[in-house]
Each structure stands twice: as structure tokens, then as C-alpha cells.
Amino acid sequence: MSTYISLSYLDLVGASVFLILNAVCSFALKLGLERQLLFSALRMIVQLLMVGLVLKAVFAASSALLTLLIAVIMITFAGREIRARQERRLTGIWGYGLGATAMMFAGTIVTVCVLVLQIEPQPWWTPQIALPLFGMVLGNTMTGVSLGLDTLHTTVYRERAAIEAQLLLGRTRWEAILPCARRSLRSGFTPIINAMAATGVVSLPGMMTGQILSGVDPQEAVKYQILIMFMIAGATGLGVLGAVFGSVWRLTDHRHRVRLDRMV
């Protein structure tokens, strides 16, 4: 028996009362966050309403080209977010392209493999299935990649003297910068490790909750959620590894020098 419950816009207005309460508290305590809270909420509403309309049209068309176009748009915006979240970033196209490329390859490989080998929809690129899965993988990979790159660039800049001292002692560029890379990889892996550790005990993830609310058997919802967590963990790991080591390669050269001039 389905337990799906339809929500009205009045229900959404009622739920927003708690957000407004937070804004009021921010104003009363002079935190200066009320504008950000309200602006972010309005931006979220507009974005989701637009996405809902677009996805409805894409699902109805069931076109491989439209599905690919939406995926490319998602990657473009995610790459922009990765760049914006870095305090120090690579100059030129590298500042945008490195993180976006690592995220794109990792997310695409993992999503396509799961669609073709595990879920097996017909056709495999069915937008109702491919786009939500790709979005979840992309969003989490974006977080890991942005944290990894931000940590690497900040650490390399802060410890540039120690790295150059290692190079003067005869270390290769990879050996000298390895401690910074390890710290960056840990930073990028931490969110997904914490998410997997807390899933099921502390929190019920959004996809699993949505399936249960729509009437899916909890055991079946659990299987899908485990699959999603494996996808996210795999894509995040590949994305962080690719982005961090790609950035290490860019921040050094074949003469084993640190190239901070390539970083803003």
C-alpha cells in the first residue's frame, strides 16, 4: 500500500517558519546572517522550481542528447563551485578545469558502470534514473574535490619553505610535497567517511527517506541506499585522487621546483 502524501505550497510556507525564526535570531543577536539565510532560501526555491520544470520536460522527451546536455550543465556549475570554494587556486583555465575534469571523469565512470552493470534500466541512460544518480554522485564528489584542492593549495603555500628545503636536499618534487598531498587526501576523504559511518545510525539519507515515504519496502530502500553510498564513495575517492595529484603536478615542474607562480 502506497503511503505517498502530496504537499501543497501552503505546507511549504508553514515549514519555512523555522528558517524565518533563524533569521530573526540572527538579526536579534547581530550575527549578520539573516540576509544570507533568506537569499539562499529564495535562490534554492527558484532553482528547484526551474529544475522541476526542466526535468519534467526532459523526462517526457526521454532523449539521450537532452540527458547528456543536462549532465554537462550540472558538471559546469559544479566545476564553478569547486573553483569558488578554494581560497588559493591555480591560475588560468587550470583553476576551473582541473577540479571539474577530475570530478567529471570520476562521476561519469562510476555512474555509467552502475547503470549498465547493476541497475540496468532500458535504455541505460533513462533520464529518470541517470540524472538523479549522477546528481547525487556529482554533488558529493564536488565537496571532496573542493576540500582536497583547497587544503593542498593552502598547505603548499604555507609550507613552501619546508618543501623547498626538501628539494635542496635532493628530494624529488613528489617526495617533497607528499606530506601536503596526504593531508589534502585525508581532507577530501573525510566527508564521505563521516557520511558512511553515520548513515543508518545517526541519519537516514535523503534517497532512502524519499523511497520510504513513497511506499517502497524499507529493505529495498536500504539496498538502493547502500548502492548509492558505494557510488559516492568510489567517485569521491577517484575525484580527489585525480584532482590532488593533478594539482601537485601543476604546482611543480620537471626540474623539481615549486611553481607558486601558477597559483593565485
Give the pLDDT score at 4: 59
What is d(CA 252, CA 260) in angstroms, rounded to the nearest whole number?
Answer: 8
Question: Is pLDDT above 50 for 1?
Answer: no
Question: Is pLDDT above 60 for 2?
Answer: no
Residue 163, all three cell numbers: 618543501
Residue spans of the domains in the chain: they are 7-61, 63-262
Question: Is pLDDT above 50 for 67?
Answer: yes
Cα dist from 173 to 55, 138, 162, 177, 183, whole Å? 47, 31, 12, 6, 16
Whether 189 and 236 have beta carbons less than 8 Å apart is answered as: yes
Prediction pTM value: 0.84
How many Å is the Cα radius of gyration of the chain? 22
Lowest mean pLDDT among 85-99, 110-124, 130-144, 203-217: 203-217
Non-local CB neighbours of 34 within 8 Å, separated by 6+ positions: 23, 24, 26, 27
Give the pLDDT score at 10: 87
- The pLDDT > 70 percentage for the chain reads 98
Summarised one tens digit per residue, pLDDT across range 104-153 is: 999 999 999 999 999 888 899 999 999 999 999 999 999 999 999 999 99
What is d(CA 105, CA 33) in angstroms, rounded to the nearest whole number?
Answer: 36
Give the pLDDT score at 251: 92
Residue 243, all three cell numbers: 584532482
